[in-house]
Amino acid sequence: MRFFRIIVLVVLSGVLVIPRSASACTIPVFRYALDRWESDPFRLVVPKAWATDRDKVKLLVPLRGNGLANVLVEESEDPALDRAKWLFPHDDAVLSEGPLDADMLAVVLDSPVRRELIRRILQGDSVVWVVATKAGGEGEVERIASRLRFLEQVAELPAQNPDDPDSQLGPGPELKLKFSVLPLSLDDPAERHFAAMLAGPVHADFVKDGIPFAAPVFGRGRVLGAWSLEELDDLMIEDTSLFLTGRCSCRVKNENPGWDLLLKVDWETALASVGEDEPVAEEETAAESTEPKPERVETVEIAPSAVAEPPSPAGLTWATLGGIGLAVIFALAGWRLWRVR
């Protein structure tokens, strides 16, 4: 009976230990998202009657099919609907509603801070902390920037194995550790829709009530969360940033927290063209000129206990099954020897 328990322990050891080492992905979360997670589309719901309105059809044509922005146009059968409604992905929360014209499309689909965000991601920034404040919020922007400068000194990316087929990088910028802060003014009408996207469906009051907040953006414009600056302390900044630069062991996008932004960019083309031509216009924005520039320094290894590791994916790989098989073979061999004695 005692020997049987030993066999069970050996087999369980193969199940619990081998998957962690055999199926672990060394790609950081932010880069895995950039390489593999497509942007969720925002839903533009319009009255079905607009299908016969030539002016409306002309406006909607660029958004259908292979449009640059992550937008899905839906025609509603609701006879009471007489305006356009922009809804968050996977949610019926309303981002904006009103008439559909060229001016409205311009502010919903694009803005100066969004263009700068895209530029930084394509240049290789690991995480861009967008800090939304009202006039006089420069001190809070510097506080977050200062903490991120510290993190760049003490953190490093997971070591990459070029021979691991599960850890191959896709086309795009060089893999590097870089945090940046991108200021956004809550008083700027051109950024009102973008601020609402950053706050997300749960924190619409941030924009409505003018509450300063920050949101870390990574991948193809995914927000991990939004926090008011009053509650965002140094520990939260560290935990969030280190999570996004740590190993990506939970590879299913919808199992991770966060939501996507509405951005006007063809990610596949832009990533493939990195290093060839500038994928976006080089426009100087007020946000860019006021950003504190973090210093680049040599990195050192951080203590493992300080890094919050994401949950591991469920399921067994072939490597796992092979490890279990070896464990069983050794156990049976031991049992055979014990019987002979």
| Sign of the torsion formed by the C-alpha atoms of 36, 29, 130 and 282 | negative
Contact 179, 126 (CB under 8 A): yes
Per-residue model confidence as pLDDT tens digits over 133-162:
999 899 999 999 999 999 999 999 998 877
Where does the pLDDT of residue 110 fall: very low under 50, low under 70, confident under 90, or very high at 90 and above? very high
Helix (H) or strand (E) holding 211: none
Which of 30-45 are b and which e, b meaning 16 or more Cβ less than 10 Å from the residue's Cβ?
bbbbbbebebbbbbbb
Is the pLDDT confidence value at 308 over 60? no
Q: Which amino acid is located at 249 in the chain?
A: S
- pLDDT, average across residues 216-221: 97
Is the pLDDT confidence value at 180 over 90? yes
More confident residue, 289 or 74: 74
DSSP state of 39: P
Is the pLDDT confidence value at 94 over 80? yes
Backbone angles phi, psi at 259, to 5 degrees: -150, 165
For residue 221, which of 122, 118, 89, 109 has the smallest C-alpha distance? Answer: 118
Percent of the chain with pLDDT strictly greater than 90:
61
Per-residue model confidence as pLDDT tens digits over 40-75:
999 999 999 998 899 999 999 888 876 789 999 999
Residue with tokens 């080492």: 21
pLDDT of residue 251: 65
Is this structure's pTM higher than 0.85? no
Percent of the chain with pLDDT strictly greater than 70:
72
Contact 203, 192 (CB under 8 A): no
DSSP state of 230: T
- pLDDT, average across residues 90-105: 92
Q: Mutual orientation of helices 2-22 and 318-340 as an angle, nearest 10°? A: 160
Is the pLDDT confidence value at 335 over 70? no
The pair of structure tokens assigned to 191 is 């950024």
Please state, rounded to an integer, the average pLDDT across all residues of the chain.
79
Domain ranges in the chain are: 2-23+316-340, 29-38+111-306, 42-109
The count of other CB atoms within 10 Å of the CB of residue 138 is 13
**Strand 84-87, strand 94-98: pairing:** antiparallel
Q: How far apart are CA 310 and CA 250, in angstroms?
A: 6
